[in-house]
Amino acid sequence: MIHILTNRLIIREYKAEDLDGYYKWMSDPEVMKYVIGFSRTKSRQESLDRLTEAIKSSHKDLRIKYYAAITLKDSHIYIGNYGGIIRKNEINGRF
C-alpha cells in the first residue's frame, strides 16, 4: 500500500473520488505533452476506465504496477499523480 506524507503532500493509492482531478489532469493537452508513456484521455469515461484499472491493480497480490494520487496535505486537492511498472529482467528473469 502506498501512503507517503511530506510537509505539503500526501501520496497515496487512488480512490474513486479522484476522478474529477484525474480527468482534469489527464485530459489537459498542455500537461500531457510532458508525460512519457501515457496518452491524453479524450473523455471522462476514458479517464474513469484508466482510474478504475489503477485502483484494481493496487489490490493484486503480485503487483507490478504502482500508481498513486498526489494531493495537497492541507486541502486534499488533487494535483497530479505518479506511477511506474516493475518489469522482469530479460537476462535473468528476476524483477
Q: What is the CATH number of the domain that holds 28?
A: 3.40.630.30
Domains in the chain, number: 1
CB 15 within 8 A of CB 3: no
For 63-90, the pLDDT digits (tens) are 888 889 999 999 999 999 988 887 766 6
Residue 90's pLDDT is 60
Residue 38's pLDDT is 80
Those residues whose C-beta lies under 8 Å from the C-beta of residue 58, and which sit 6 or more positions away, are 1, 2, 13, 14, 66, 67
Low-confidence ranges of the chain (pLDDT < 50): none
Residue 92's pLDDT is 57
95 assigned to some structural domain: no
31 assigned to some structural domain: yes
Residue 84's pLDDT is 81
CB atoms within 10 A of CB 69: 24
Distance CA 89, CA 81 (A): 26
94 assigned to some structural domain: no
Residue 21's pLDDT is 95
Residue with cell 506511477: 83
Range of the structural domain that residue 58 is part of: 3-85
92 assigned to some structural domain: no
Residue 15's pLDDT is 95
